[in-house]
Amino acid sequence: MDMIEPNVAALLWFALFSGVASIGFYVLTGVFPLETRPDLRSRPLGLVLIAANVLLLVALVGGSMAYGAANLRWTSLVIVAGLAVLFAPGLFNVWPESWRDGVAGLAIVLTGFSVSLSLLQHVGAVFSL
């Protein structure tokens, strides 16, 4: 395994972060355009959840890429990120409909992004304040 990727622990962490980001991306694509979602557009909580999720998704993708670039070979980075994007729709379709569409899904994704970002900071110290 050393010839393929010497840092297996970093590879597994990156796979987790990529998977969470990919699934969250698919949940967020169902929100846009907002004109098609009056149930979320008319509620202030829905708009706040959308904005928070988009910000955390950008932070997670950027932090994951920085972590992967610092700890992995570029081939491992490309392959794992590609597999996460490829298999995320299958994992997304396993979710119940109520989790995918609406405020519940946005709250679940927000929780997933928050936990992933805290793990990313703990494991990789990507963000400096």
Tell me the per-residue pLDDT of 92-117, one tens digit each, with 9 for 90 and over.
Answer: 888 888 777 778 888 999 999 999 99
Per-residue pLDDT, averaged over 41-68, amounts to 89
Biggest alpha carbon–alpha carbon distance for the chain? 54
Quick one: which of 113, 26, 105 has its CA closest to 64? 113
CA distance 59 to 87: 21
The structure tokens 């395994």 sit at 1
CA distance 59 to 13: 16
> In the chain, at which residue ranges do the beta strands (DSSP E only) sit?
none
Question: Which residues fall within 8 angstroms of residue 106, CB to CB, at 6 or more apart?
Answer: 27, 31, 40, 46, 49, 50, 53
Which of 3-7, 40-44, 57-61, 102-106 has the highest mean predicted lDDT (pLDDT)?
Answer: 57-61
Q: What is the pLDDT of residue 105?
A: 82
